[in-house]
Amino acid sequence: MFNEAQQWQQFVTDLQTDILPIYARHEDEFDYPRIHGRLHICRSIVLAECMANLYSQFVDIDRFAIRYAVAFHDSGRQGNGVAIWEADSAANCYIYLQQKLSIDRSRAEYISQFIVKKETLVDINEQITHDADVLEIMRLTGKTGFKPFHLQFGRDFPVLAELKETLINEAWQLIDITEQIKGRLSPITYLQDAIALAQAYPLLASNLQSFI
């Protein structure tokens, strides 16, 4: 049984070897401005890790499920704009979990369905997956155009609800700086760069585990 640090390292290996290359192809084929590309995915992972750690103080969190769902959530895209390929992205996740990682059918189905947007979220793991993408919309809207009511974070936990505004502010700062310097970053190190830059923001930094 892998410990948490080993699970993270295995995920990072899968991400770099198998998953991010999907988005690299998208960037070459249609996503020229890299709106739904590798940097978006890597930042989403960082934001999800932070929220997962915050929630882990109160409830059991399935980090494995969150990580792979977040990583695959735009993998089925065939264009930018409104997401109409969620089922394709979910299918990509499901196939990878079953065929590459030998995850049983019911668990692979549970994880992959996080990607398909729905009115009622199944559980906190799906909520974190959802919220990571919600925060990332600020790369398009800026902070002034962001609609906080779409973010479910802290909904059933008053202590966490008090951190919602801070989370939004720090997520925006991370998004803003990485978008500003995107042209100077190497796509090969997007994840490491996002993690390193997140250290400048207290809430994000204090909720990224030491092995990440």
What digits encode the pLDDT tens for the residues 135-152? 999 999 999 999 999 999
Question: Which single residue is written with the structure tokens 């909904």?
Answer: 155
Burial 124-163 (b: 16+ CB within 10 A, else e): bbbbbbbbbbbbbebbeeeeeebeeeebbbbeebeebeeb
Q: How many residues does the chain have?
A: 212
In angstroms, the Cα distances linking 155 to 1, 80, 131, 133, 183 are 33, 30, 11, 17, 36
Q: Residue 37 has which token pair?
A: 């590309």
At 64 the pLDDT is 98
Q: Residue 118 has which token pair?
A: 């729905």
Q: Residue 77 has which token pair?
A: 């895209």
Is a pLDDT exceeding 70 seen at residue 207? yes
Average pLDDT of the chain to the nearest whole number: 96
Mean pLDDT of 11-38: 97
Percent pLDDT > 70 in the chain is 100
Is a pLDDT exceeding 90 seen at residue 182? yes
Q: How many helices (H) and strands (E) does the chain have?
A: 12, 0
